[in-house]
Amino acid sequence: MTSGPNHAAKTGSALAISNVSKVFNKGNSNEVTALSDVNLDVHTGEFISLIGPSGCGKSTLLRVIGDLTGFDSGSVQVSGKSPADARRERLYGIAFQQAALFDWRSVSKNIELPLELAGWDKSRREARSAELLDMVQLSEFGTHRPWELSGGMQQRVAIARSLAVDPPLLLMDEPFGALDEMTRERMQNELLRIRQETGKTIVFVTHSIPEAVYLSNRVVVMSPRPGRITAEISVDLGERNELTRESDHFFHSVTAVREALRLHDTSGSNMSAHRGDI
Partner 1 sequence: MNSKLSYVWPPILIAALFLGAWQLLVVIQDLKPFLLPAPSLIATEFSNGAMLMWSAAFYTGTTAFLGLLFGTVAGLFMALLAQRFITVDKLVAPLAAGLATVPIIALTPILNNMFNITSRTPRVLVTAIIVLFPIFVNVTRGLMQVNPVQLELMRSLNAAPRTTLRVLRIPNAIPFFFTGLKIAAPLAVIAALVAEYFGGPQQGLGSRIASAAANTAYGRAWAYVLAAIIMGLIFYLTIIAIEKCVTPRTTKTVKTT
Tell me which residues touch partner 1 (CB under 8 A). Answer: 66, 68, 87-88, 90, 92-94, 96, 98, 100, 102, 104, 113-114, 116-118, 141, 144, 147-153, 183, 186
Nearest approach, Cβ of residue 4 and partner 1 (Å)? 26
Nearest approach, Cβ of residue 164 and partner 1 (Å)? 9
Helices (H), 28-121: 58-65, 83-88, 107-117
Query: Smaller CB distance to partner 1: residue 150 or 241?
Result: 150
Nearest approach, Cβ of residue 245 and partner 1 (Å)? 19
Q: Cα separation of 22 and 83, whole Å?
A: 15
Nearest approach, Cβ of residue 104 and partner 1 (Å)? 5
Query: Smaller CB distance to partner 1: residue 10 or 88?
Result: 88
Beta-bridge partners for 93: 170
Query: Smaller CB distance to partner 1: residue 8 or 133?
Result: 133
Nearest approach, Cβ of residue 151 and partner 1 (Å)? 8
- HSE-up of 30 (CA within 13 Å, CB side)? 3
Output phi, psi for 43, to 5 deg: -95, 160
Which of 217-231 are b and which e, b meaning 16 or more Cβ less than 10 Å from the residue's Cβ?
A: bbbbbbbbbbbbbbb
DSSP reduced 3-state for 194: helix
Query: Smaller CB distance to partner 1: residue 166 or 259?
Result: 166
Query: Smaller CB distance to partner 1: residue 114 or 224?
Result: 114
Q: Cα separation of 193 and 271, whole Å?
A: 41
